[in-house]
Amino acid sequence: MVKLEKDILSKNNEYADANRKMFAKRGVLALNLVSSPGSGKTTLLCRTIDALRGKLPIAVIEGDQQTSNDADRIRATGAPAIQVNTGKGCHLDAHMVGHAANHLDLAEGGLLLVENVGNLVCPAGFDLGEAHKVVVLSVTEGEDKPLKYPDMFAAADLMILNKTDLLPHLDFDVEACIANARKVNPRIKVLRVSARTGEGMSDWTAWIGAARAMALAGHPLAAELKGAA
Amino acid sequence: MHEMAICESIRGILEEEAARQDFRKVGRVCLEIGRLSDVEVEALKFGFDVVMRGSLAEDARLEIVETEGRAWCMPCGQSVPIAARFDPCPDCGSHQLQVTGGGEMKIRELEVS
Give me the interface pTM, i.e. the ipTM: 0.84
Chain A CB contacts of B95 below 8 Å: 182-183, 186
Question: Does A187 contact B at CB distance below 8 Å?
Answer: no
Chain A CB contacts of B88 below 8 Å: 183
| Distance of alpha carbon B94 from alpha carbon B91, whole angstroms | 8
Q: Nearest-CA distance from A145 to chain B in Å?
A: 12
Mean pLDDT of chain B: 94
Count: domains in chain A: 1
Over residues A215-221, the mean pLDDT reads 88
In order of their start, the domains of chain B are: 2-112 (3.30.2320.80)
Mean pLDDT of chain A: 94
- Do residue A89 and residue B1 have CB atoms under 8 angstroms apart? yes
pLDDT band at A89 (very low <50, low <70, confident <90, very high): confident
Query: Cα dist. B78→A64, B87, B95 in Å?
Result: 43, 15, 13
> In a 3-state reduction of DSSP, which class is residue A6?
strand
| pLDDT in the model for residue A229 | 44
Within-domain flag for A157: yes
Contact pairs from chain A to chain B, CB under 8 Å: 88
Q: Name which residue leads in pLDDT, A90 or A111.
A: A111
Within-domain flag for A9: no
| Distance of alpha carbon A195 from alpha carbon A45, whole angstroms | 9
Q: Please state the separation of Cα A26 from the chain's center in Å.
A: 18
Within-domain flag for A207: yes
Q: Please state the separation of Cα A67 from the chain's center in Å.
A: 20
Range of the domain at A43: 19-214
Detail the DSSP E strand segments found in chain B.
26-34, 61-67, 69-73, 78-82, 97-101, 105-112
- Check pLDDT > 90 for residue A218: no
Q: What percent of chain A has pLDDT over 70?
A: 98
Task: Please give the model's pTM, rounded to 2 decimal places.
Answer: 0.90
Best mutation target among B22, B86, B92, B100 (most A Cβ atoms within 10 Å) is B86
- Check pLDDT > 60 for residue A127: yes
Within-domain flag for A50: yes
| pLDDT in the model for residue A225 | 65
Within-domain flag for A14: no
Q: Nearest-CA distance from B38 to chain A in Å?
A: 7
Within-domain flag for A30: yes
The CATH number that applies at residue A93 is 3.40.50.300
Q: What is the DSSP letter of A106?
A: P
- Mention every residue, 6+ apart, whose C-beta is less than 8 A from residue B29: B10, B14, B48, B57, B60, B61, B62, B63, B107, B110, B111
Phi, psi of B82 (to 5 degrees): -135, 150
pLDDT digits (tens, 9 = 90+) for B20-49: 999 999 999 999 999 999 888 999 999 999
Within-domain flag for A166: yes
- Check pLDDT > 70 for residue A140: yes
Dihedral angle computed from the Cα positions of residues B71, B76, B77 and B79, in that order, rounded to the nearest 10 degrees: -30
Within-domain flag for A149: yes
- Do residue B108 and residue A3 have CB atoms under 8 angstroms apart? yes
| pLDDT in the model for residue A122 | 87
